[in-house]
Structure 1
């Protein structure tokens, strides 16, 4: 049940990231505040992990994302998204999500040309318009969503 709520939140973040190439603070910081309040109120993370696991997850996220943010590879919304996810889950989920996101990026890079030829012309036109409106900046939240989904299935 708790994973479904996180999946819905990640789906909202993904949709906004794809459309606008940024994730609002309301979605990221709001979820982080709720996860932190849940930690303090119940003594465990949203998925039931110990607070120390959520703390380690946040440390892992900062260690893996802040260098990318400083080099311009990650956006601030991506860092906040993963930080909120860390506070709501555990280090296992965070590491699994990173690995799953990396696999999703790799699969997308290898198969995107082939998948593009299979798309409906109307869908192609809509996606092309979206790509032209926002430029070269690529969304990362869709890969996080796939990574979290793979991790949730693997762990549970």
Structure 2
């Protein structure tokens, strides 16, 4: 129960700071990670420590590659690791699935808002026609769009995905 309260506090603080400053603070995530390890160690001994450690590693592992490729910040990775340390591997995995779905929806909305809805649909239909006819794929690039990029604070998707998992649970 205490872990859930701490998780909710960490999520709310991270949501606010990520929206306002585009940062997830170490002063929030690192104590949460340490608390997760300490709490489960004292409650369940080495098995509790391993439970928290496995959650930490799964949370870290899920986002470390996108971080290394420059797709997100280190704070997002540490937030997911903190969720894992507080709640375990299974919980952080299902939170990640919800997060990916929510992040994808946010990205689609932002793309449609920035570039309009008609051009992406025409591009998609054009590419689908090429795939169906086995002529290969073709990248359609607009010179104006070539240098534009769309980004958003991914911590928002992480927080919403984790709240979805708290409310609805996994997919079992």
TMscore range, shorter length = 0.7 to 0.9
Flag the structure with more relative contact order, 1 or 2, with Cα contacts below 8 A and sequence separation at least 6. 1
Q: Specify the SS of the correspondent of 1:43.
A: helix
Shift of 1:97: 0.8
Q: 2:169 aligns to what? A: 155
Count residues with an aligned counterpart.
132
- Structure 2 distance, partners of 1:36, 1:9, is 16
Structure showing greater Rg: 2
CA contact (8 A) 1:21 1:137 kept: no
Q: Tell me which moved more, 98-107 or 53-62.
A: 53-62
Shift of 1:19: 0.7
Give the TM-score normalised by structure 2.
Answer: 0.66
Shift of 1:137: 5.0
Alignment root-mean-square deviation, CA: 2.5
Q: List runs of 5+ in structure 1 lacking aligned partners.
A: 115-134
Q: 2:135 aligns to what? A: none
Per-residue deviation, residues 50-78 of structure 1 (Å, max 9, x unmatched):
44333222222232222112111121111
CA contact (8 A) 2:103 2:157 kept: yes
Give the TM-score normalised by structure 1.
Answer: 0.72
CA contact (8 A) 2:59 2:83 kept: no
- Structure 1 distance, partners of 2:63, 2:82, is 13
Q: Specify the SS of the correspondent of 1:138.
A: coil
Q: Specify the SS of the correspondent of 1:152.
A: helix
- Structure 1 distance, partners of 2:65, 2:105, is 24
Shift of 1:4: 4.1
Q: List runs of 5+ in structure 2 lacking aligned partners.
A: 114-148
Q: Specify the SS of the correspondent of 2:96.
A: helix
